[in-house]
């Protein structure tokens, strides 16, 4: 009678014959489980390579952003039947130009509006003239024209529908909406972060 023993990976048969036991199969790794940019998200799931170590990231390994709505919008009012940008809006235009210089990946959509006085065709043309007047102010401040889009909405998007002078004034406007702006990167707080005094 032969006795069979398994000792340290070898199949030993009592008759003196040795046969190598089969090695267990190696598991194939299909995903890259490393974390090349040390952000806590493995390479297989990381959609943003090279994120700085000081930022707060989302589940995809991308930086999170803090939005500042007041920095990324523009609103200019106009007198009746006018496309002249009043000097009172100089500071607001300066801030918008500064914002666009600071974030060169962004663009600005300028939506021109009118009150309900006048014909639709006249108001449509006037709304484009108003948006172009604001565009010219920003171009004078160094913003490239290809970053400024014009939309003339005429009287199609009234804020207030009644015909009082106050309502008409509110409706005569150009609204600028920034496109492509994510916000400032949210910094991660550490024990070494110094607060501004």
Share of the chain above pLDDT 90, in %: 27
pLDDT at 21: 62
pLDDT at 68: 47
Whether 73 maps to a domain, the answer reads: yes
Whether 120 maps to a domain, the answer reads: yes
What pTM does this model have?
0.57
Whether 171 maps to a domain, the answer reads: yes
Whether 12 maps to a domain, the answer reads: no
CA distance 24 to 26: 7
Cβ(146)–Cβ(188) under 8 Å? no
Q: Dump pLDDT digits (tens) for 42-58.
A: 777 766 776 666 566 66
CA distance 33 to 47: 14
Q: Which domain holds residue 160?
A: 68-181
Whether 146 maps to a domain, the answer reads: yes
CA distance 195 to 147: 36
CATH of the domain at 146: 3.30.1330.60
The DSSP secondary-structure symbol of 9 reads T
Whether 1 maps to a domain, the answer reads: no
Whether 50 maps to a domain, the answer reads: no
Share of the chain above pLDDT 70, in %: 58
State the pLDDT confidence band at 129, using cuts at 50, 70 and 90.
very high
How many domains, in total, are found in the chain?
Answer: 1
pLDDT score of 92 more than 60: yes
Q: Dump pLDDT digits (tens) for 166-192.
A: 667 778 889 998 887 765 544 445 444
State the pLDDT confidence band at 136, using cuts at 50, 70 and 90.
very high
Cβ neighbourhood burial of 35 (10 Å; 0-12, 13-18, 19+): middle
Whether 126 maps to a domain, the answer reads: yes
């Amino acid at each position: 009678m032969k006795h069979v023993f398994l000792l340290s990976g070898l199949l030993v048969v009592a008759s003196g014959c040795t046969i190598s036991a089969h090695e267990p199969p190696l598991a194939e790794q299909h995903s890259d489980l490393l974390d090349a940019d040390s952000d806590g998200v493995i390479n297989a799931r990381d959609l943003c390579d090279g994120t700085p170590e000081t930022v707060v990231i989302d589940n995809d390994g991308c930086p999170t952003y803090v939005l500042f709505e007041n920095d990324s919008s523009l609103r200019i009012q106009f007198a009746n039947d006018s496309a002249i940008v009043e000097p009172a809006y100089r500071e607001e235009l300066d801030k918008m130009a500064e914002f666009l210089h600071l974030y060169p990946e962004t663009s600005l959509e300028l939506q021109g509006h009118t009150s309900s006085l006048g014909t639709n065709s006249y108001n449509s043309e006037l709304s484009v003239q108003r948006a172009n007047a604001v565009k010219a102010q920003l171009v004078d401040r160094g913003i490239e024209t290809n970053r400024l889009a014009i939309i003339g909405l005429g009287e199609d998007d009234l804020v207030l529908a009644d015909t009082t002078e106050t309502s008409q004034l509110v409706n005569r406007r150009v609204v600028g909406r920034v496109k492509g702006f994510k916000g400032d990167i949210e910094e991660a707080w550490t024990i070494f972060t110094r607060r501004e005094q």
